[in-house]
A and B are shown apart, each in its own frame.
Chain A
Amino acid sequence: MNMLEIKNLRKRFGNTEVLKGVNLSLEKGEVLSIIGSSGGGKTTLLRCLNFLETADSGEIIVGGKSVYCATEGEKPVVTPEAQLSFGLVFQQFNLFPQYSVIDNLMLAPKLRAKRMSKSGKHESQEEILARAEELLTTVGLRDKRDNYPCELSGGQQQRVAIARALMLSPEILCFDEPTSALDPELTGEVLRVIRSLKDSERTMIIVTHEMEFARHVSDKVIFITDGVIAEAGTPEEIFEHPKTKKLQAFLSHTKNDQDFT
């Protein structure tokens, strides 16, 4: 069964149609990389999945359950469950500066437990703390638990952000160019963490400019340009045998860039 199914997703900003009907499916544990030039719609697609933008029309189905279904002129209300089906790691980390690392992880789950305490079943403070410490160990930052974000390097901040997103146990974890704001020597540690998540069978969607990384970590790659999926396939198909002219041009540009560095 598909973990995620996206049907005919459309989004326009004013007169510009940014997503012109995107269809996509992903199985549990699969890793999807989205590549494409800036302004092509890849970040908008990710933001629509996380409901930071609301798609104008189309349907999002997670684990066989429709979590969002909009028709032209009618947008549904996003339920908390729908919101929490997806997690997002931002390009700029967006940690909460006034909270220590461990509190960054625990803030949202604690508030959620407080909200749910009215309706009965909820996670206890001890369980939340135990899970937070476990996740910090997973991302290799157990010893930074009491530090503040401003005391961490960019790479460490991004690893905290990944752990924070995992605290809400999303079905699908999304990354929006997770290494673009990092110094080159810091990208490795973040990519290693993402790779380790793949080994633990986590379903992930990664918008990235790191072609080498996309090639190695993904099960599927899609190339988005002008608001549509121009090409989709396995990493081998996309990177070794690109069919469309646009993808060939895009790949040769990025290759040239890499030769420079």
Chain B
Amino acid sequence: MNQFIDITLDLLNGFSYTLTIFFVTLLLALPLGLIIAFGSMAKFKPLSALTRGIVWIIRGTPLMLQLLVVFYGPGLIMGQILMTEPTAVYLTFTINYACYFSEIYRGGIESISRGQYEAGKVLGMTKSEIFFKVILLQVVKRIIPPMSNEVITLVKDTSLARVIGYYELIYFAQRYQKNAGLLWPLFYTAIYYLVFTALLTFLFRWLEKKLDYFKA
């Protein structure tokens, strides 16, 4: 029993690393994704082509490979590792998720009718006023379901951090397998993921309900 409690607490410590990766990524990738979305919708063709090219590369290769390239790549070229494991993890996850988010944003923004922009314009509103006061909330309402998918995927993708030797929940659990021959802690980690994704599911449901007062 004591062992069970000890391992539960130790895994909780491991899960705090998972949560840190999750929240740092979300905090940085949500705004960055919006910037990338604007880039890919830019009227200036070279910019939109470049942005779409980057999004293609990021979405077209495995996140695991991207982690390895970001962490070990500079070492191969310049002979030394440039950043610590957590930096490489945050950087890679942020860019990767921002690219996915950008496509969700773009879909949401382009689905808003032109009439909403035109109504704002004839009422003398500026472009940024129209975007932030009229368009954005309608976009948010529409992208909640695809966003919740992506965010839940992020929870589980954090486990990829261990390919460059950074800590997260599964890394902690596997130590018991290697050091003590215990397999159950590894299976036990599923509970942590399930509880957390359940919380996220409730949060997104609540948000959806909250925005249910209007139709867009």
CB distance from B117 to the nearest CB of A (A): 9
Please name all residues of chain B whose beta carbon is closer than 8 Å to the beta carbon of A88 when the two chains form the complex.
118, 122
Does chain A have a CB within 8 A of B13?
no
Annotate B89-132 by CB proximity to A: 1 below 8 A, 0 otherwise.
00000000000000000000000010110111111111001000
How many A-B pairs fall under 8 Å by CB?
63
Q: Which of A50, A98, A168 contacts B137 (CB 8 A)?
A: A98
Stretch at the interface among A11-19, A79-87, A189-197, A216-224: A79-87
Q: Contact at A90–B118, with CB atoms within 8 Å?
A: yes
| Tally of A interface residues using CB under 8 Å | 28
Closest to A161 in B: B119
What separation, in Å, do the CA atoms of A112 and B122 have in the docked complex? 13
Q: Mark A74-112, 1 if CB is under 8 A from B, else 0.
A: 000000100110111010101111100000000110011
Within A109-123, the residues touching B (CB, 8 Å) are: 111-112, 115
Q: Which of B122, B125, B216 contacts A98 (CB 8 A)?
A: B216
* Total count of chain B residues near the partner, CB < 8 A: 22
Task: With both chains docked as a complex, state the minimum distance between the C-beta of A190 and any C-beta of chain B, in angstroms.
Answer: 17
Q: How far is the CA of A223 from the CA of B134 in the complex (A)?
A: 36
Please, how many angstroms separate the alpha-carbon atoms of A80 and B141 in the complex?
31
* B148 in the interface (beta carbon within 8 A): no
Contacts of A165 in B (CB 8 A): 122-123
Q: Is B4 interfacial (CB-CB < 8 Å)?
A: no
**B138 close to A108 (CB less than 8 A):** no
Q: Which residues of A lie under 8 Å from residue B122 when comparing CB positions?
A: 50-52, 83, 86-88, 165
CA A84 to CA B122, docked complex, whole Å: 7
Q: What are the residues of chain A within 8 A of B137 when measuring CB–CB?
A: 98
The secondary-structure label for the interface of chain B is helix
Q: Is B213 an interface residue (CB 8 A)?
A: yes
- Tell me if A149 is interfacial: C-beta within 8 Å of chain B: yes
A111/B129 in contact, CB under 8 A: yes
B214 CB-CB contact with A under 8 Å: yes
Residues of A within 8 A of B121 (CB): 51-52, 83
Q: A108-B125, A111-B129, A149-B214 are in contact. Are A94 and B116 (CB under 8 A)?
A: yes
Given contacts A84-B124, A112-B124, A148-B214, contact A96 B118 (CB under 8 A): no
Check A98/B119 contact, CB under 8 A, given A108-B125, A111-B133.
no
Q: How far is the CA of A221 from the CA of B113 in the complex (A)?
A: 31
Taking a contact as CB atoms under 8 Å apart, the answer to whether A150 and B118 are in contact is: no
Chain B residues packing against A (C-beta within 8 Å): 113, 115-116, 118-126, 129, 133-134, 137-138, 141, 213-216
Question: Interface of A with B (CB < 8 Å)?
Answer: 50-52, 80, 83-84, 86-88, 90, 92, 94-98, 107-108, 111-112, 115, 148-150, 164-165, 167-168
17 contacts between A and B (CB under 8 A): A52-B121, A83-B121, A88-B118, A90-B118, A94-B113, A94-B116, A94-B119, A97-B216, A98-B141, A107-B123, A107-B133, A111-B126, A115-B126, A148-B213, A150-B214, A150-B215, A168-B124
